[in-house]
Amino acid sequence: MNRVLTALLNGLAALGQGVLSAAAHTGQLTLFIRQLMGRLIPAWTRPKLIVQEIYAIGVLSLVIIVISGGFVGLVLGLQGFNILSKFNATESLGVMVALSLVRELGPVVTALLFAGRAGSAVTAEIALMKTTEQLAAMEMMAVDPLRRVIAPRFWGAVIAMPLLAGLFSLVGIAGGYFIGVVVLGVDAASYWGQIQQQMQPMDDVMNGVIKSLVFGVVIGLVAVFEGFNAEPTSLGISRATTRTVVLSSLLVLGLDFILTAWMFGA
Amino acid sequence: MMNTQRGIEIVVGAFVLAGMLALLVLTLKWSDFGTSSVSGYTVSAQFDNIGGLTDRSPIKLAGVTIGRVSSIQIDPKTFEAVVTMVIGSQYNDLPKDSFASIYTAGLLGAQYIEISPGGDTQVLKNGDKITMTQSAVVLEKIISKFLFNKAAEK
C-alpha cells in the first residue's frame, strides 16, 4: 500500500517537475526576448558586426542552399512531368514547380537547411564563448554581450533567411526548366507563360517572403537563446546545439502550417 | 583578401544584391520571355467563345506547334473574340480557307488552336483573317444540351 502511494507520488512529482521546468524555460525565453529587444536597434550603431554575421550565416550557407535548390527543382520537374503527362497537361509544369517552390519548399527547405547549417554554428559559437567565459569577460570590460555578440547574429539570421529562400526558389525553377524543357521537351513558352499567368507576385511571392522572414526570426532567436543559456560544459554545448536544430526544425514546420492556413486557407 | 573586413563586405554586398535580385525576378512579370523567339507572320481569327485560351497559347498544325497566340481582344461590334496569332515564317503556304478550331489538350490541359488546312490555292499572308472557326467547347453547355434532350425524349 505504502509502495503504491510512493510510486504515485513519484509520478506526480515528475509531472510537476516537467511542468515547472517548461514554465521556467518559457519564462527565461520571454526575459531573454525582452532583453534582446532593447538591443536590436542599438546594434545597428556598429553595422560592420552585422555585415560580418551576414557573411558567416548567409554567404557561407549559399553553397548548400543553391545546390539543394537545384536538386529540389530537378526532382520537382521530373515528378511533376510524370504526373502531369498522365493528364496531358505538361504545359502546366512551370507553374507547378514555381508555385510549390515559392509558396512552400523555398521557405521551408531553406529554413531546415539553414537551421542545420547556420543555427547550429551560432549556438555552438555562443555556447563556447560562454563556457570559456568570454561573455563574462566582456561584461567585466563594460561591453554588453547581448549587444556586441547576440544581436548581430540575430540580425544576420533575419536578413539572410529571405534572401537565401529567394535564391533557393529561383535556382529550383531553373532546375525544373532544365529537366522539363531541355531534357523532357516541354514547350519553353508554356513553361514561362503559365508561371506568368498563374503566379501572383504580390500574393505568392510576398507570402513566401513573409514565411521566410518569420522562419529567420524563429531560427535566429532559438539559436542565440540556446547558445546564451547553454550549460557551460562540453556536454552542455553539444546539447544546446542539438536542441537548436530540433527545436527550430519543429517550430519551422509547425509555424509553416499555421502560416499556410492563415494565408492560403479559407 | 577574402578574410579581410573589406573582402567580407564586398561578398556580403554581392550576396544581398543577388538575393534581392532573385526576389525581384520572382515578382516580375516575365512579359515576353519565351515568345520573342517566335518570328513570322500575323493572322487573326474571330471566335464566339475562346474558353480558356490565353496569350502564348500554342497554334498547332497536325499536332505540331507552329505559332503562338499574340493577343486576344473583343470586337466591339460583333462581341466576338478576335485572336491574333503569330505563325512561324517557314509555314507560309497555309491555304487561305484553312479552318481554326479551339481544342483542349487532354481532359485538363491548356487550350490551343488547331489549324486544319483547306484546299484553296491562295495562301494566308501577314494580316489575313481566318474566316472559318470553331469555338471552344464548353463542357457545361454539352451536358445541359444532353440533359435537355434526355428530358425531351420522355
Domain ranges across chain A: 38-264
pLDDT of residue B29: 60
Q: Is residue B150 part of a domain?
A: no
Band of the pLDDT at A76, cuts 50, 70, 90?
very high
Whether B77 and B130 map to the same domain: the answer is yes
**Cβ of A205 and B26 within 8 Å?**
yes
Q: Is residue B73 part of a domain?
A: yes
Whether B103 and B133 map to the same domain: the answer is yes
Residue B8 has pLDDT above 90, yes or no: no
pLDDT of residue A132: 92
Whether B10 and B44 map to the same domain: the answer is no
Whether B121 and B81 map to the same domain: the answer is yes
Q: What is each CA distance from B71 to A175, A188, B127, in whole angstroms?
A: 30, 18, 13
Q: Is B40 left (phi over 0), alpha (psi -120 to 50) or beta?
A: left
Grid coordinates standing for B97?
480557307
Query: Chain A interface residues facing chain B, Cβ-Cβ under 8 Å?
Result: 48, 51-52, 54-55, 58-59, 62, 87-89, 91-92, 102, 159-160, 162-164, 166-167, 169-170, 187-197, 201-202, 205, 208-209
Residue whose entry in the numeric block shows the C-alpha cell 505504502: A2
Q: Is residue B60 part of a domain?
A: yes
> Which residues in chain A have their CB less than 8 angstroms from residue B31's CB?
196
Whether B57 and B14 map to the same domain: the answer is no
Angle, vertex CA A86, rays to CA A96 and CA B33, nearest 5: 40
Q: Is residue B112 part of a domain?
A: yes
Whether B44 and B110 map to the same domain: the answer is yes
> For residue range B24-46, what is the model confidence (pLDDT) as tens digits?
888 776 545 545 556 788 888 88
Distance CA B3, CA A258 (A): 41
Q: Nearest chain A Cα to B5, which residue?
A: A52
- The whole-number average pLDDT for the span B82-109 is 81
**Cβ of B19 and A169 within 8 Å?**
no
- The whole-number average pLDDT for the span A2-7 is 88
Task: Report the domain count for chain B.
Answer: 2
Nearest to A155 by CA among A32, A50, A48: A50
Owning domain of residue B134:
40-142
For the purposes of burial, counting CB atoms within 10 Å of the CB of A106, is it exposed (0-12), middle (13-18) or buried (19 or more)?
A: buried
Whether B20 and B93 map to the same domain: the answer is no
Q: Is the pTM of this model over 0.90?
A: no
Whether B89 and B133 map to the same domain: the answer is yes
Whether B46 and B117 map to the same domain: the answer is yes
pLDDT of residue A194: 78
Band of the pLDDT at B108, cuts 50, 70, 90?
low
Residue B119 has pLDDT above 90, yes or no: no
